Amino acid sequence: MADDARTAGSAPVRIDAGARDAAPGHARDTDLGPTRPIGVIGAGTMGAGIAQVAAVAGHPVVLFDVAPSQVELALGQIAGFLRRDAAKGRMANDEAERAVARITGASTLDACAPCALVVEAAPERLALKQQLFADLEGVVAEWAVLATNTSTLSVAAIGGALMRPERLIGLHFFNPAPLMPLVEVIRGPATDEGVVAAVAALAARWGKTPVLAKDTPGFIVNRVARPFYGEALRLLGEGTADAATIDALVRDGGFPMGPFELMDLIGIDVNYAAASSVFEGFFGDPRFRPHPIQRAMVESGRLGRKSGRGYFAYPA
């Protein structure tokens, strides 16, 4: 399936405008080439990272957030990251400055009007994302591609209220987006194959490795990784070994981090939310059942590194 992305190349891809409301034979070409503007919705860590990736690849970028202060903060952070990369010799100074200059902050969606692709990286709330995309449909060109960076919600559900769900696709980056090479490209039930090919090709041009996934709970990584945490928690709960011993044995098996230190790094609340979401998405399949230890940790405020306490202690 990854071959689809490689063979798509950089040529404009024909997108069927959709059977719902387009006249027969009405199709348009879309161009996600390196000069086309990209919109990013949400200036949090993930949105800022995606904006940075797109800008480094040469795209003019509009970074939107409802909070202007968040946009300013993100722009400052991106500039800092890029100038630090330049200082370390990872990129030329002028290259970094050009990338910084390509990103424009915005606090109204209208600024996304010229964008060929808009990537949404808003908080994981279905109603919020549905409203955002409904609003975007009234702003962007009819041929523009819409992408959601959701990690837990269904692309089908997000696109359920859209006039043109065929142009909505999942584009799931991993944190930190500028460094992590993987992007999951999620085909919703209505997503046009031309959109899939164009977005996968774009991700490859951005230096990422796109993998194509169906719109199922957790997609690939957040689903397949569940036993890494779930079985470790059961081993802990059954008294097989303590967290440090389990982590050490898993590291000796070749993993860079053990499950407990990784949950502490991710955030135990974030990990628990992902586990609960996949469990719910599969209608309570016991393979995905979260563990009572997770809930107890969250309820007691032991969230991992960010709270100073998790499965291990992190003195300030």
Partner 1 sequence: MRLTILGEAETDWAEALAERFRAAGHTVVAGDVGADHRPSDAQLAEALAASDACIDLCVVDRARKAAALALADRHLPPRRPLWTCCLATSATYVAASVEHSTRVFGFSLLPPWAGRTTVECARALQAVDTDVDAAADVWSAVGLAPVWVADGTALVLARIVCCLANEAAFAWMERAAAAADIDTAMRLGTRYPRGPIEWANIVGPRVVVAVLDALAAEHGEDRYRVAPLLRRHAAAGLPLPL
Q: Which residues are identified as catalytic?
A: 172
Backbone φ/ψ region at 209: left (φ over 0), alpha (ψ -120 to 50), beta: beta
Q: Residue 34 or residue 227: which is nearer to partner 1 going by CB?
A: 227
CB of 4 to partner 1, least distance (A): 10
In 95-235, beta strands by DSSP E: 103-106, 117-120, 145-148, 168-173, 182-187, 209-214
Asked if 287 touches partner 1 (CB under 8 A), the answer is yes
- Pairing between β-strand 38-41 and β-strand 117-120 as defined by DSSP bridges: parallel
Asked if 253 touches partner 1 (CB under 8 A), the answer is yes
Q: Residue 70 or residue 151: which is nearer to partner 1 going by CB?
A: 151
Write the CA distances from 182 to 91, 98, 209, 211, integer angstroms. 21, 25, 5, 8
Asked if 157 touches partner 1 (CB under 8 A), the answer is no
Give the amino acid at 114. P
Asked if 45 touches partner 1 (CB under 8 A), the answer is no
Q: Residue 89 or residue 286: which is nearer to partner 1 going by CB?
A: 286
- Pairing between β-strand 27-30 and β-strand 13-16 as defined by DSSP bridges: antiparallel
x/- letters, 2..31, toward partner 1 (CB under 8 A): x-----------------------------
Nearest in space to 13 (alpha carbons), one of 141, 159, 167, 148: 167
Q: Residue 91 or residue 235: which is nearer to partner 1 going by CB?
A: 235
Asked if 280 touches partner 1 (CB under 8 A), the answer is no
Could you tell me if 154 and 180 are in contact, meaning their C-beta atoms sit under 8 angstroms apart?
A: no
What is the CA 312 to chain-centroid distance, rounded? 28
Asked if 109 touches partner 1 (CB under 8 A), the answer is no
Q: Residue 36 or residue 291: which is nearer to partner 1 going by CB?
A: 291
Asked if 312 touches partner 1 (CB under 8 A), the answer is no
Could you tell me if 18 and 192 are in contact, meaning their C-beta atoms sit under 8 angstroms apart?
A: yes
Asked if 256 touches partner 1 (CB under 8 A), the answer is yes
Asked if 239 touches partner 1 (CB under 8 A), the answer is yes
Asked if 240 touches partner 1 (CB under 8 A), the answer is yes
CB of 297 to partner 1, least distance (A): 19
With residue 296 as reference, give the H or E element that holds it: helix 292-299
CB of 95 to partner 1, least distance (A): 25
Could you tell me if 18 and 217 are in contact, meaning their C-beta atoms sit under 8 angstroms apart?
A: no
Angle between helices 243-252 and 259-266 (to 10 degrees): 110
What is the CA 128 to chain-centroid distance, rounded? 16
Q: Which positions lie near partner 1, rule CB under 8 A?
A: 1-2, 174, 180-182, 184, 209, 211-214, 216, 219-221, 223-228, 230-232, 235, 238-241, 245-246, 248-250, 252-257, 259, 286-287, 289
